[in-house]
Amino acid sequence: MISAYDGDSVGLGRVVVDSTWHHWFSMNLVGFRDEAPSLYRGMQNYYRNVALWLATPEQRASMLIAATWGVLVGKHPGAFSHALSIWEIGERVIDVIGRTAPQCIVSELVGVFARLEPEPERRDAASSRASGPRLMPEAAMVNQAIVGGIASGLLDSAHHHFAERAYGRDSVLDEEALRRGALKGVVAGTRALTEAVNESAAELVELATRLRDHQGGVRVREIPIGGEHGNQDSDGAEGP
């Protein structure tokens, strides 16, 4: 049994409590890798998930930036350029990251920069007022904007890295430049996401207006129900 607590939103960090130490350190683990590979892979996933959960927000932000940088300087440098929009770059980067990490992991890392859940003091009030499902941006949309922004902010450094290596020179990475570029990209990605949400909000307002104006547009008595024998019950007898 595992218990997990998320205190990020109130600045208390996170906790994981495991009911047994056998999953972590035990002679029982010897041989799993060779004799039960599927079980061994599942255990490795568990270890990674716990490590990701316990990572600080700063560490998770670093993971996302590093993963994005790894894609930009990977095997296909020509796949990324400033001619592409933030959305297009984000889609391509996430496609590569997604080959080794599922969407939920990307969302966990992106959540450091764009948390969609309401603040704790507003959460209960919001849920008590809700009488139906809330309209929220899809996780994929948020991930695409933030990752695309980070990638755009790192693009010049990535191109410089490739140029240096093309001329046979060692590429010395400027960590501060990468940090500034990534954070600048987060701002750009957040701006793109905000614009998209605002456009969607305007469309939703227009839709709500149409729905309101259309109420009662059809008179109930004018709607035909059934056919010629619509007033008969299932056994053919005349209804009231």
pLDDT in tens, 80-108: 999 999 999 999 999 999 888 888 899 99
As a whole number of angstroms, the distance between CA 7 and CA 68 comes to 27
CA separation, residue 130 to residues 32, 118, 119 (Å): 48, 13, 16
Q: Residue 50 and residue 7: Cα distance in Å, rounded? A: 15
For the chain, what are the domain ranges? 1-54, 57-123+135-213
Per-residue pLDDT band for 216 (boundaries 50, 70, 90) equals low
Identify the band that residue 182 occupies on the pLDDT scale cut at 50, 70 and 90.
very high
C-alpha distances in angstroms, 97 versus 19, 58, 65, 67, 136? 33, 20, 12, 7, 24
- Is 191 in contact with 86 (CB distance < 8 Å)? no
Strand spans (E) along the chain = 2-7, 13-18
Largest pairwise CA distance in the chain: 94
pTM of the model: 0.76
Closest among 149, 159, 181 to 85, alpha carbons compared: 149
Q: What is the pLDDT of residue 220?
A: 65
Amino acid 97 reads I
Whether the per-residue pLDDT at 240 is higher than 50: the answer is no
